[in-house]
Copies of this chain bind each other. A is one copy, B any other.
């Protein structure tokens, strides 16, 4: 998505440790119109898969997932990062390691919101190690639902997550794929 690459080049900041800060439009601050535009692009890419439901993980995935859900007119379910008092009844759960925060989280979704045969699209803002998406696919597997693929805004193509999931047979679409951030210079994978 050319508009996203241009926005990253204009507004993104590269921080030490290959961290790309896009806080001005995708995280902490959300450019509402642009998030909705990314949601429409995800809908365009996956419309033929006819997803029944979008699955994401709180908190940073929620905005993009809602934008995609609004464009596809399908509900969004978000996994919570730990078992909370408001999740009642039986749950699906998967362990996810966060390289950003250096810890493990259990992501949890109530069974009533994910069920057998549902066609589920996983959505997240960033794709790097692929841990979060692997966790979402594990929840989909536990529910006997059908994973139609994953959509993310920004993929760090120089990490193994996205290509590993593709090699495992999942359709993974990222609106922008960064193949290098060496010395603060951003190189995108042609798509």
**A66 and B28 form a contact (CB under 8 A):** no
User: Is the CB of A101 closer than 8 A to any CB of chain B?
Assistant: yes
Contact status B32-A80, CB under 8 Å: no
Interface residues on A, range: 35 or more
Contacting residues of chain A (58-94) with chain B, CB-CB under 8 angstroms:
58-59, 62-63, 65-67, 69-70, 72-78, 80, 84-88
Given A62-B59, A66-B35, A67-B66: A76 and B29 within 8 A (CB)?
yes
Q: Which residues of B contact A63 (CB under 8 A)?
A: 62-63, 66, 76
Pick from B23, B25, B36, B59: contact of A110, CB under 8 Å: B23
Give a binary string over A26-48; 1 marks a CB under 8 Å from any B CB, 0 the rest.
Answer: 01111111011000000000000
Residues from chain B with a CB closer than 8 A to the CB of A101 are: 84-85
A172 at the interface (CB under 8 A from B): no
**Is there an interface contact between B73 and A86, defined as CB atoms closer than 8 Å?**
no
Q: Which residue of B lies closest to A72 (CB)?
A: B32
Known contacts A70-B33, A84-B101, A86-B23; decide if A28 and B113 are in contact (CB<8 Å): yes
Contacts of A66 in B (CB 8 A): 30, 32, 35, 62-63, 66-67
Chain A residues engaging chain B, CB cutoff 8 angstroms: 15, 19, 21, 23-25, 27-33, 35-36, 54, 58-59, 62-63, 65-67, 69-70, 72-78, 80, 84-88, 100-101, 109-110, 112-113
